[in-house]
Structure 1
Amino acid sequence: MRGAGGGRAARALLAAALALAIGACGTSEAEPTALPTFPSATESGPATTAAEDGRVIPADCGRILATPDLEAVMGLPLGSVTVRTTIGVPQPAVGRTERVTCRYTRVGDGGGRALLDVNATAYRDAAAASAQWQVNVRAESGERRDLPLGSAPGALFEKRGQAVLMVAHSTSNLTLVLPDQPLPGGKTRADALVDLALRVLPAVSVDQASAPPPPPPPGEPMSQAGSSR
């Protein structure tokens, strides 16, 4: 009986040792073969919005106007458009705090002829944005037509070879330059520019109605609600 009991105990110990060895081998083999994973553009995009990184205008033109949106408006094949982002510098003399320019071209053109140029700028306040928009409008050449987008003033300039749409909204200005090219469905240049501007404006401007009210000027009494705190 002792021999049988001792044999069973030995077999149990051996089985336990084998289980531990197999488990250890499985762990050591799994770690080197694990592959790193990275968030996709769609997963990482919402985590880096312009508001979250302290900017009004996104520092990535893909978040200003995604290439599939331009392809849809222009009737181009999916994946046929690429974009280049250029970050400008502030210009305190006119109250400009941000500038981002975007050039959209066909894939494989090596940055050649543009399909669309976007120039988005942000200013310290709406007054500075409006003043600079008026300066830019007066300096632009071509046949002018007022083309407001809702409450946002806009001016369309049609000239040989291209059309330009300038829009002022809140503390931001937006300029779209559309070179002459075939447009789908009988669209005019103005139709395409308005469609594009309506897609871009929400990405490059802030809604002042949702912003907190500015503090009262020095010497003025605070509101009753403020004084009670």
Structure 2
Amino acid sequence: MRGVDGGRTTLRAAVAGTLVVLTALLALLALLTGCSSGPEPTAVPTFPGPGQQEGGSTTGPGSADGAIPDDCTRVLAGDELEAVLGLPLGSVRVRTILGVAEPSVRRTERTSCDYTSGPGRGVALLDINVSGFVDDAAAAAQWHINSAAESGERREVPLGSASAVLVERRGESVLLVAHAASNVTLVLPEQPLPGGRSPGEVLVDIALRVLPSVSATPASAPRAGPASAAEPQVARGVS
């Protein structure tokens, strides 16, 4: 009987020891679980990428820099002009010159674009001058002044809802356009044109590509920026 009782005692001790170990493990597990539970991790903040505003909306052509673009590649990209003039890909260089407000004619901003090709200063292919005004009436008034100041053979050309006058003279053709609160003047030097197209046809083609990007809405304040010393002072430079 003593042997049996001794065996039972040993068994009870083993069971008790096992229970102690299990209790310790459960306590440790509860402690670890309690430590791991806590506030949710903070989300990594995200920011709008280039050309986007808060909320993910993409800004328009001129919304970041005024009523009209301040970069001529957004007025007319070099590859677009290459396509119109039948030039090799990558042959056109684009130069941007920013003007300032001109209160006397109610102009709020101006962007001048030079398109050239070839080495050095290059060969002039096209000049585009874009001006934004305080309202449609100011843009139309300045367009009339500029159109009257141009010399050469002139005629009105249909251009959708825009007003446009084509002036042709020796060495170049000029298309003056008024649309909404903006004026656009395009100067095409005499040069070979693909497909037997006339300078007037090419200028209208280019204007239709440019107008969607530069049709300014009335601006409440002029765009800040230094005037360029190279800004033209002739009549078309007032546009």
- Provide TM-score, normalisation by structure 1: 0.68
Say if 2:74 is the partner of 1:63.
yes
Specify which of 63, 73, 79 is matched with residue 84 of structure 2: 73
**Over 2 Å off, 4+ runs:** 43-52, 110-113
In 2, Cα distance between equivalents of 1:135 and 1:52: 28
The answer as to whether partners of 2:62 and 2:70 remain within 8 angstroms in 1 is no
In 2, Cα distance between equivalents of 1:68 and 1:130: 31
Provide, for residues 174-201 of structure 1, a one-character-per-residue CA deviation record: whole Å limited to 9, x for no partner: 0000000110011110110000000001
Tell me the residue number matched to 2:26: none
Select the structure with the greater relative contact order (CA < 8 A; seq sep ≥ 6): 2
Tell me the residue number matched to 2:33: none
In 2, Cα distance between equivalents of 1:74 and 1:44: 32
Provide, for residues 22-74 of structure 1, a one-character-per-residue CA deviation record: whole Å limited to 9, x for no partner: xxxxxxxxxxxxxxxxxxxxx95676644431511111000000000000000
The alignment partner of 1:64 has SS state of: coil
Specify which of 82, 104, 113 is matched with residue 93 of structure 2: 82
Tell me the residue number matched to 2:214: 204
Moved more, 133-142 or 199-208: 199-208
The alignment partner of 1:68 has SS state of: helix
In 2, Cα distance between equivalents of 1:106 and 1:82: 6
Provide, for residues 98-149 of structure 1, a one-character-per-residue CA deviation record: whole Å limited to 9, x for no partner: 10000000042x2333100000000000000000000000000110011130
Say if 2:175 is the partner of 1:149.
no
Tell me the residue number matched to 1:138: 148
- Percentage of pairs with the same residue: 57
The alignment partner of 2:154 has SS state of: strand
Tell me the residue number matched to 1:92: 103
Matches within 5 A, 1:3-152: 44=50, 49-108=60-119, 110-152=120-162
For the pair shown, the structure with the greater C-alpha radius of gyration is 2
Report the AA paired with residue 199 of structure 1. R
The alignment partner of 1:154 has SS state of: strand
The alignment partner of 1:193 has SS state of: helix
The change in CA–CA distance for 1:182 and 1:102 in structure 2 (over 3 A counts) is same
Q: Going by fraction, where is helix more abundant, 1 or 2?
A: 1
- Provide TM-score, normalisation by structure 2: 0.65
The change in CA–CA distance for 1:129 and 1:48 in structure 2 (over 3 A counts) is same
Instruction: Report the count of equivalent residues.
Output: 166
The answer as to whether partners of 1:49 and 1:58 remain within 8 angstroms in 2 is no
Shift of 1:206: 3.6
Segments of 5+ residues of structure 1 without an aligned counterpart are 1-42, 212-229
In 2, Cα distance between equivalents of 1:93 and 1:58: 22
Report the AA paired with residue 169 of structure 1. H
Shift of 1:151: 1.5
Shift of 1:164: 0.2
